[in-house]
Amino acid sequence: MKIQGIAKPIVERMVERSNELGQGRGVGAIGLINEDGYITACSEIVDGGISGIPFRQLLSKLVNMDGRSLLEGINQLADNIALLFTSPGSTGVIVSTGAINLFDVPVVNIGIKSEKIMGIGILYPKKHFFDLATRSEQVQIDILGAKSMEEERQLMKASTELRLEYLDISEELPMVEMEESNFNINTREWKLKRLQINSIDKAFVDALVAKSSSIEQGREVAAMGLVDENGHVVQKGEIVVGGMGYVPSRLLASSYTDISGKSLRRVYTEQIPDNAVIVHTHPGGTGVMHMGDAMAGPGTWGRPIIAIGHNQHGEVRGATVIELDPRVAELADEYEEVGQKFFLAKTPQEEAEIRKKRFAIAQEYTDLCKPIEIK
C-alpha cells in the first residue's frame, strides 16, 4: 500500500522526545496505517541506545518477546504497520535496506537538524531493493576473491556504483494536519519449534572444512542443514563462501533457497523450514562462538547455529551449537537495556562500569555453546 502521509502530532512527539534525549539519539515506534493510507497512530516511543533503536524493546511493548527471537516477535504483528524512527543530523534520507530486510514493512525516517524537522523519508520493501542488497553483499565477497589489482579495482568500482544506487531508494513522505488516533493493533501467535541438536553428519563437516581450507585463509563458509527427530544435522543447502570472519546474511539464506526479490523475513518465515540449522566454519578456532554468531542465528532468525572449528591444514578441532535457548533472548534484552544506560553515566567510573557490563553480557554467549558429536 502506498502511504499518503503521517499525522503531524506523531512526528512532533517523536521529534520532541529525540530532542529531549539530545546527544544525537534517535527514537523509534511502530506506526499504524489506516485504510486510507495514512499513519495516524503509533506505539509507545522507545529511546535509542548506543547501538541504535532497541528492536526487542520496541517489540516487547506490543507482543510477547519472552525467550523469543526477533523473527518470532515481528511475525506476531499485524500487516498494516510501518517502522518509525528519528535521525538527528539527517534530513530524512534513507540509504540502508537493513530495516526492510528484517521487518518487510515500510520504514519512515524523520530527519532532525538543530532540533527542527528537516524532512521525512520513506522506504518501501520492494523486490529491487532486496536484490540490490544481495548484489552489494556479493560484490564485497568478490573483492576478497580478486586475483589481480586490475580485477580488484573493477570490483571496487562496481561496489561504489552500487552504493550510489542507495541514494535513490527512499522517497519523501508528507506530514499532514490530522488528529492522532488511538493505537489498537491486532496481534497473532507465531512461534518456531525449539530444536535440540546432538550431532552433525561427518560428510557435511568434511565438505565445509574442505571448502573453507581451499580458499583464502580466514574466510568462513556456510550452508543450511536440517535436523531430524534424533537431533542429527545433515546438509541441505549449497555451500556459500563468506568473508573474513563472517558470511553475509542474504548469501547465507541463498544456500537453501532462491531469495530473489524477497526480504529475509519472508525467506525465513515462508521458505526455510522450522527444522533448519545454520552451519558455518570457524577457521583457526575450535567451534566456540560469540554474540555475533548467536544473533545471526537463534537471536534473529530463531534457527540454531553450528560452528565447525578447524586449523589451516583442514583438521577439525571441534563443533558447537547455540540453540534457541531462553537465555539467548534474555542476554539480548540485557544488552539493549545496558546500551541505553550508557547515556545516563555521570562520571567516567559509571561509564566504565556500563561498558564492562556490555562486554560481560557479550562474553556470556560463549557459555551457551554446546559441544556436539560429529558422526
Tell me the pLDDT tens digit for each residue of 304-316. 999 999 999 999 9
Q: What is the helix (H) or strand (E) element at residue 241, kind and residue range?
A: strand 240-244
When pLDDT is averaged across residues 324-352 and rounded to a whole number, the result is 93
Q: What is the pLDDT of residues 140-158, one digit of tens each?
A: 999 999 999 999 999 999 9
When pLDDT is averaged across residues 36-52 and rounded to a whole number, the result is 95
Q: Is the pLDDT of residue 1 over 80?
A: no
pLDDT bin (cut points 50, 70, 90) of residue 50 is confident
Q: Is the pLDDT of residue 216 over 90?
A: no
Specify the pLDDT at position 256: 96
Q: Which residue has the higher pLDDT, 342 or 127?
A: 127
Q: Which residue has the cell 535436523?
A: 227
DSSP 248-292: -HHHHHTTTS--TT--HHHIIIIIS-TTEEEEEEEETS-S---HH
As a whole number of Å, the end-to-end CA separation of the chain is 50
- Cβ neighbours of residue 192 under 8 Å, at least 6 residues apart? 69, 71, 72, 274, 302, 303, 324
Q: Is the pLDDT of residue 236 over 80?
A: yes
CA–CA separation, 307 vs 260, rounded Å?
Answer: 27
CA–CA separation, 54 vs 342, rounded Å?
Answer: 13
As given in the structure block, the three cell numbers for residue 374 are: 560429529
Specify the pLDDT at position 163: 95
Domains, the chain, ordered by start: 5-127+164-176 (3.40.140.10), 199-326+363-374 (3.40.140.10)
Q: Is the pLDDT of residue 225 over 90?
A: yes
Query: What's the whole-model pTM score?
Result: 0.95
CA–CA separation, 97 vs 76, rounded Å?
Answer: 22
* Closest alpha carbon to 15 in 97, 83, 95, 89: 89
Longest dimension (CA), the chain: 67
Q: Is the pLDDT of residue 180 over 80?
A: yes
130, 263 contact by CB (below 8 A): yes
